[in-house]
């Protein structure tokens, strides 16, 4: 690439710091987990590796939300739907790796289908015994849903709080649908008890490290892709739409098309995050569609700093670490703390942690 092609990251000092820290993390954690004895104070436990890997998938989801909210002005309260659909696609693949093979070498029916006295695999489960097909569905299903939803909503010029409500209704409708046993996705129990991924035991430390590194790589690539978009002419068009949609439409931009493609790309990123999340936590069920999850996602972005991308990562890591600590130490306090955090950030830190850092840099 020429220097002009790399200008989108060369002009992003904070982004370079973030990518450097992510690279260091990706190199250091495997060494501390696999290369340091368990009795050492420098040993990084497998549990911590899995927890950090989960946080990185949340960070990728936060970047996807920041792309549409921070740069396009679309407050999506339904990104949990795209995250969960990507997770279910991965979960379906992992379920089909469980158990002995049938007469023709195909995996047997998942346990919950046997329990429900199903005698054959539903048509939409076919192909999920192949990794490449499952990964294709991780991209296609959330992307297709976002494209159809966005096409209908943006062509009708639905915006603002009405669009936010519709996106929340979308994820709530999927929540209710996936709870039904007859849908064929495990009902309220969802998909769980995964064993293997590409022939590797999910309980092995080396597999956990590989999933962590895959999450770090996906986060880095997702950040670069989003940074490239927002630094391009398309990104300038997004900001113009956010700040003055009617004026942008008046000067000739196809506002609906810009919104549609950015929204679809954001949904694909969310689906990838969900696919990486599932093998690390070991379960996917309809509760992941909960509208509360989408609201928490917006809080991550607000705390970290909207329209910065790296701020969304900071918010996701900080809020989820606090959640893990408080739900263990003070389980009754967490929701109150989350609400108070959002109120305080809105009142006293409207540009989030990243905005505070920028202000100090300017004052210095």
- C-alpha–C-alpha distance, residues 90 and 276, integer Å: 8
- C-alpha–C-alpha distance, residues 273 and 56, integer Å: 8
Sorted by where each begins, the domain ranges of the chain are: 7-363
Q: Residues with Cβ < 8 Å from 270, sequence gap 6 or more?
A: 60, 61, 64, 65, 79, 82, 83, 86, 142
Q: Closest Cα partner for 58 from 311, 324, 316, 354?
A: 316
Q: Closest Cα partner for 76 from 246, 262, 236?
A: 262
Tokens representing residue 352 in the block = 């989030």
Q: Are 264 and 150 in contact (CB under 8 A)?
A: yes
Q: Closest Cα partner for 166 from 178, 179, 177, 156?
A: 156
The helix/strand/coil state of 337 is: helix
Q: Closest Cα partner for 72 from 299, 294, 257?
A: 257
At CA 62, angle to CA 60 and CA 68, rounded to 5? 110
- C-alpha–C-alpha distance, residues 133 and 113, integer Å: 21
CB neighbours of residue 69 within 10 Å:
24
What are the b/e assignments for 197-217, b being 16+ CB within 10 Å?
A: beeeebeeeebbbbbbbbbbe
Q: What is the largest CA-CA distance in the chain?
A: 71
Tokens representing residue 282 in the block = 């070991």
At 162-205, the pLDDT tens digits run 999 999 999 999 999 999 988 889 989 999 989 899 889 998 99
Q: Are 163 and 157 in contact (CB under 8 A)?
A: no
Give the number of C-alpha atoms closer than 13 A to the C-alpha of residue 364, restricted to the C-beta side: 6
* pLDDT score of 174: 95
Residues, the chain: 364
* pLDDT score of 210: 95
Q: Residues with Cβ < 8 Å from 98, sequence gap 6 or more?
A: 107, 110, 111, 193, 194, 195, 196
Q: Residue for token digits 């900001």?
A: 239
Distances (CA, A) of 210 to 84, 275, 297: 22, 14, 26
HEC string of 197-262 equals ECCEECCCHHHHHHHHHHHHHHHHHHHHHHHHHHHCHHHHHHHHHHHCHHHHHHCCCCHHHHHHHH
* pLDDT score of 103: 47
Count the helices and strands in the chain (H runs, E runs): 15, 4
pLDDT tens, the chain, 364 aa long: 555 556 777 777 888 999 999 999 999 999 999 888 888 888 889 999 999 999 999 999 999 999 999 999 999 999 999 999 999 999 999 998 886 655 444 557 888 888 888 888 888 999 998 999 999 999 999 999 999 999 999 999 998 899 999 999 999 999 999 999 888 899 899 999 898 998 899 989 999 999 999 999 999 999 999 999 999 999 999 999 999 999 999 998 899 999 999 999 999 999 999 999 999 999 999 999 998 899 999 999 999 999 999 999 999 999 999 888 888 778 788 878 888 888 888 788 888 888 776 665 545 4
- C-alpha–C-alpha distance, residues 294 and 68, integer Å: 13
């Amino acid at each position: 690439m020429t220097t002009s092609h790399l200008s989108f990251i060369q002009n992003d000092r904070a982004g370079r710091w973030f990518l450097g820290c992510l690279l260091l993390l990706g190199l250091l954690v495997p060494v501390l987990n696999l290369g340091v004895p368990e009795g050492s104070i420098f040993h990084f436990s497998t549990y911590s590796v899995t927890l950090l890997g989960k946080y990185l998938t949340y960070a990728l989801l936060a970047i996807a939300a920041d792309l549409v909210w921070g740069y396009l002005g679309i407050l999506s309260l339904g990104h949990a739907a795209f995250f969960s659909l990507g997770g279910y696609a991965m979960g379906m693949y992992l379920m089909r790796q469980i158990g002995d093979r049938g007469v023709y070498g195909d995996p047997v029916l998942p346990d919950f289908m046997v329990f429900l006295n199903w005698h054959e695999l539903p048509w939409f489960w076919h192909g999920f015994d192949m990794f490449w097909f499952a990964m294709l569905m991780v991209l296609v299903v959330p992307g297709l849903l976002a494209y159809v939803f966005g096409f209908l909503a943006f062509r009708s010029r639905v915006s603002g709080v009405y669009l936010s409500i519709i996106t929340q209704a979308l994820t709530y409708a999927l929540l209710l649908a996936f709870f039904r046993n007859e849908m064929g996705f495990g009902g309220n129990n969802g998909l769980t008890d995964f064993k293997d991924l590409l022939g590797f035991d999910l309980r092995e430390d080396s597999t956990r490290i590989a999933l962590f590194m895959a999450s770090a790589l996906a986060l880095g690539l997702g950040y670069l892709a989003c940074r490239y978009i927002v630094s391009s002419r398309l990104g300038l068009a997004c900001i113009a739409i956010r700040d003055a949609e009617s004026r942008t439409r008046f000067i000739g931009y196809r506002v609906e098309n810009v919104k549609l493609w950015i929204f679809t790309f954001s949904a694909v990123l969310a689906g990838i995050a969900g696919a990486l999340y599932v093998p690390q936590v070991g379960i996917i069920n309809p509760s992941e569609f909960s509208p509360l999850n989408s609201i928490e996602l917006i809080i991550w972005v607000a705390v970290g700093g909207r329209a910065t991308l790296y701020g969304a990562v900071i918010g996701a890591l900080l809020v989820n670490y606090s959640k893990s600590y408080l739900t263990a130490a003070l389980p009754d306090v967490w929701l109150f703390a989350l609400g108070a955090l959002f109120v305080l950030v809105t009142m006293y830190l409207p540009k989030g942690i990243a905005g505070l850092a920028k202000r100090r840099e300017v004052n210095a």
